[in-house]
A = this chain, B = another copy of it.
Amino acid sequence: MTEHHRAGPLFTDLYELTMAASYFAHQVFDTATFSLYIRDVYATRNFFVAAGLDQVLDELAAFRFSDPDISYLHSTGRFSKHFLDYLRQLRFTGDVYAMPEGMVFFANEPVMEVTAPIVEAQLIETFVLNTIGFQTMIASKAARCFHAAEGRPLIDFSLRRTQGQDAGIKVARSTFIAGFAATSNVLAGKIYGIPISGTMAHSYVSAFDNELDAFFAYADTFPDHSIFLIDTYDSVEGARHAAAVAKEMQKKGHTLIGVRLDSGDMAGPSREVRKIFDDAGLYDVKIFASSGFDEFKIAKVISEGALIDAFGVGTKVGVSADAPFVDVVYKMVRFKGRDVRKLSPGKVTLAGEKQVFRKSDQNGRYSEDIIGQRDEIIAEGKPLLEKVMGNGKILRSHPQLQMLQEKFKENFAALDDRYKSIQDHNAYPVKLSRRIQDLQKR
């Protein structure tokens, strides 16, 4: 696995295929535009961070039904030979406009728009929603942690409890985009080149006769990459053992990177541990903390004065535990050359092909977004959606992951702190242009 694992065109809901069959039977091949956005139903997030685009583009560029796919569909007895022959030669030939990964955006703003013959635009719906929705949700959760950690490095430790294999890989990637420093996930390191990081488990310490033996053994194997887990028995005693081993390592010209605390309370123990290392002159030994961290717990232990240098962040971020899904939708906004919208109680879709324009104040701080028609020009509004696919071809090479992280950090820095609050719901101003408002009335 050296890149995204392909889902293939059967990664779809059956109704996408039955609708396609019916469109085909009635020769409905007209062009449609679908708009993908997150509805602000739950008010759990002030902002989102776009992620998942490159995988979507790779999948669309490679879109084709294999012979086994066609055989399976044939075996269901629902589809005509005519339609299956049509599917066999079907490719994705549409255009895609999208916000780049790492971009901060807000509820109800289109993060992607797809224009294609209706069958193609419809068949990819399930995959696109799944991919953009999940990865954006994780990047958004991770960005909240990045904010709460106030500059301390964060390491993704979630792999053992993510929702399946693919989630594990994509959590590593999405959290890295949103400012994480590293992951414990070795496969994600291999696939994406994300820095990998790790310490030791309690079982390792238990496997030796005593803690000191375990630390010496580990230091012997990793003289320059050691982080000791010090709370298998007692964290203060563990810190003393770690300091003793660190002193021996120093004599051989090596340095202990740090120690890890993995228990409930952090503030008191971290200060005791810090004092032990400082008293021993081991000022550079870092204190890592893990165990149930998310943005709330990070903010809490920092406010309590815990002396933590870096956080291992696991399950709660890996599944976005406080908001484990987003209400991401993919709605038809234009068909057969006509702008369309669906109205249902409390759920309005904005008709027409759109663009999001972002305005900044004189300090470069984001002041407001304006949703307009795609061909509008809004004075001092920077358009956020870029054309990334034309006629089914990807129009640019994929950015390096490191560059996506830099893009995130840059645009996150321009977001006012009040919208980064992990406690309060503050709505960033998102307005509609006059033209898009007029269009909705027609």
Residues of A within 8 A of B (CB): 1-2, 5, 7-8, 10-19, 21-23, 25-26, 28, 32, 34, 68-69, 72-73, 76, 78, 118, 122, 125-126, 129-131, 133-134, 157, 159-170, 184-187, 189-190, 196-204, 206-207, 217-218, 220-222, 225, 232, 263-264, 315-316, 318-321, 324-326, 328, 331-332, 335, 340, 342, 344-345
Contact = CB atoms under 8 A, between A and B. Distances in A.
A32 to B, nearest CB: 8
B133 A2 contact: no
Nearest to A202: B342
A293 to B, nearest CB: 14
A73 B164 CA distance: 23
A245 B332 CA distance: 25
Given A13-B185, A220-B25, A332 B164 contact: no
A12 to B, nearest CB: 5
Contacts of A118: 207
B161 A206 contact: no
Nearest to A138: B163
B130 A168 contact: yes
A159 B164 CA distance: 13
A331 B170 CA distance: 27
A222 B18 contact: yes
A164 B164 contact: yes
A161 B129 contact: yes
Contacts of A225: 18, 78
A332 B203 contact: yes
A198 to B, nearest CB: 3
| For the complex of A and B, 3 pairs with smallest distance between CB atoms | A14-B198, A15-B198, A163-B163
A198 B34 CA distance: 21
B187 A11 contact: yes
Which of A133, A134, A197 has most chain B Cβ within 10 Å? A134
A17 B34 CA distance: 45
B76 A201 contact: no
Given A200-B19, A207-B335, A342-B202, A159 B130 contact: yes
Contact of A21 (B184, B221, B315, B325): B221
Which of A68, A72, A165, A331 has most chain B Cβ within 10 Å? A165
B122 A203 contact: yes
How many subunits of this chain does the assembly comprise? 2
A130 B315 CA distance: 11
A332 B207 CA distance: 9
22 contacts: A1-B8, A11-B186, A13-B157, A14-B186, A14-B197, A15-B199, A16-B198, A19-B200, A23-B207, A25-B217, A25-B221, A26-B217, A72-B186, A126-B159, A129-B161, A134-B161, A161-B328, A162-B163, A164-B166, A164-B170, A232-B342, A263-B344
A386 B343 CA distance: 55
Contacts of A204: 15, 19, 22
Contacts of A196: 14, 76
A12 B186 contact: yes
A138 to B, nearest CB: 8
Contacts of A325: 161, 315-316, 318-319, 321
Given A8-B1, A202-B342, A319 B163 contact: yes
Nearest to A157: B13
A167 B72 CA distance: 21
Contacts of A134: 161-164
B315 A13 contact: no
A2 B68 contact: yes
A243 B25 CA distance: 23
